[in-house]
Amino acid sequence: MSDVLDIRRIYLEPDAAALQRGKEVLARWPDAERVEVASHQRIPELYGDETNVGRWVRIKREALVLGVKRSLTARPNGRSADFIAPSTANGCAMACAYCYVPRRKGYSNPITVFANIDKITGYVQRHVARQGVKPAPNECDPHAWVYDIGENSDCSLDARISDNVRDLVETFRWMPTAKASFATKHVNTDLLDWDPQGRTRIRFSLMPQADAKLLDIRTTPVPERIAAIDDFVAAGYEVHVNFSPVVVRDGWLADWAELLDQLDAGLGAAAKAQLAAEVIFLTHNEKLHQVNLGWHPKAEQVLWRPDLQQVKHSQNGAENVRYRTGSKGRYVAALTGLIAQRTPYCRIRYAF
């Protein structure tokens, strides 16, 4: 794990350090320097300081934040999940060049772990109970209310830091009307022993190797993600794939055809029988573009394409860029047609 995490400094809220989960996290790195902070959201030397861009990856590897999640809400979603559950962590030690999370928090954005896990699991249980039985199928799931538990982090990596993710997976195990869901680019075989009993959906994010080598920095290699799918299905997880983000460049469709062939060859019958996919084309952001120029400018040669992109105003008021209307429709049709041809058993839950 030291290639991804080598924690040397832990920024902590005193309230978090006093909780049982906080004590457990601190015990995992007893030699790390401890720095008390008033708020996990306001640490100037980590967030919002442009000079940190030169230490982008080092901060992710060496810094950890321990805080308390004070606002507990389950936001309606509607595409990938019915609801976004309260976060048990945010930030990431990986460094995908297209990640949207740094746009909100500032520079580098290492992992913040929330120690009040009992409050979070209790809130989720009450929220699920209020929903009752799902009245009709939708694109999230035909029967269960789906809760994304990893919107702002990678749960597979979070599970190497604390038992928060395991606690949530075990909570959903006993809720027949709901299931947890999270996307990941990190294979953590510890999860194979958790016995989720079909109540947790893992979405392995996949892209062609040429894109992953350039963009998926510090993640598990794509062939290893594919190789893990059968094991996770056998362990009781529902396993889907995220074809995300799809980056349009010279030769992109041929490379996706090769990836789909690799996926087909790597899956057994059980995994194929339950497989579904989300297809998400790249959305980028000018502020993130400027940050990336400071630490990984080569990525921007494929991510920032004004000749192919147009401005998109997001729901939170940010100005993003996406592939141009008209052209994007053709790209989506080309890729979904390729999926139907190469992996016809893979149901496409949505594509945009």
Query: pLDDT for 214-236, tens place per residue?
Result: 999 999 999 999 999 999 999 99
Q: Is residue 32 scored above 80 in pLDDT?
A: yes
DSSP state for residue 326 in the 8-state scheme: T
Question: Among residues 77, 63, 107, 266, which one has the least CA distance to residue 181?
Answer: 77
Structure token digits, residue 136: 């009709």
How high is the pLDDT of residue 51?
63
Provide the pLDDT confidence category of residue 42 given band limits of 50, 70 and 90: confident
- Helix, strand or coil, per DSSP, at residue 26: helix
Q: State the Cα–Cα distance between residues 89 and 343, nearest whole angstrom.
A: 34
How high is the pLDDT of residue 315?
64
Q: State the Cα–Cα distance between residues 164 and 126, nearest whole angstrom.
A: 18
User: How many Cβ atoms sit within 10 Å of the Cβ of residue 334?
Assistant: 13
Provide the pLDDT confidence category of residue 147 given band limits of 50, 70 and 90: very high
What are 79-95's pLDDT values in tens digits?
899 999 999 999 999 99
Question: Among residues 150, 229, 232, which one has the least CA distance to residue 190?
Answer: 232
Q: Is residue 203 scored above 80 in pLDDT?
A: yes
As its CATH architecture, domain 9-351 has Alpha-Beta Horseshoe (3.80)
Share of the chain above pLDDT 90, in %: 83
How high is the pLDDT of residue 259?
98
How high is the pLDDT of residue 106?
57
Q: State the Cα–Cα distance between residues 61 and 94, nearest whole angstrom.
A: 8
Q: Is residue 172 scored above 90 in pLDDT?
A: yes
DSSP state for residue 193 in the 8-state scheme: G
How high is the pLDDT of residue 3?
77
Q: State the Cα–Cα distance between residues 175 and 85, nearest whole angstrom.
A: 15
How high is the pLDDT of residue 59?
86
The phi, psi pair for 54, rounded to 5°, reads -70, -15
Asked which of 18-32, 65-79, 272-286, 311-325 is least confident by mean pLDDT, the reply is 311-325
Q: Is residue 52 scored above 60 in pLDDT?
A: yes
What are 96-144's pLDDT values in tens digits?
999 876 555 556 788 999 999 999 999 999 999 999 999 999 999 999 9
Question: Among residues 307, 309, 338, 336, which one has the least CA distance to residue 325?
Answer: 309
Share of the chain above pLDDT 70, in %: 94
Looking at every residue in the chain, the average pLDDT score rounds to: 93
Max distance between CA atoms of the chain, in angstroms, equals 55
For residues 44-57, average pLDDT:
70
Angle subtended by helix axes 327-342 and 252-266, to nearest 10: 30
Q: Is residue 25 scored above 90 in pLDDT?
A: yes
Peptide bond connecting 306 to the previous residue in cis, omega within 30 degrees of 0:
no
How high is the pLDDT of residue 124?
98
Q: State the Cα–Cα distance between residues 28 and 231, nearest whole angstrom.
A: 28
Q: Is residue 1 scored above 70 in pLDDT?
A: no
Q: State the Cα–Cα distance between residues 94 and 147, nearest whole angstrom.
A: 23
How high is the pLDDT of residue 83?
98
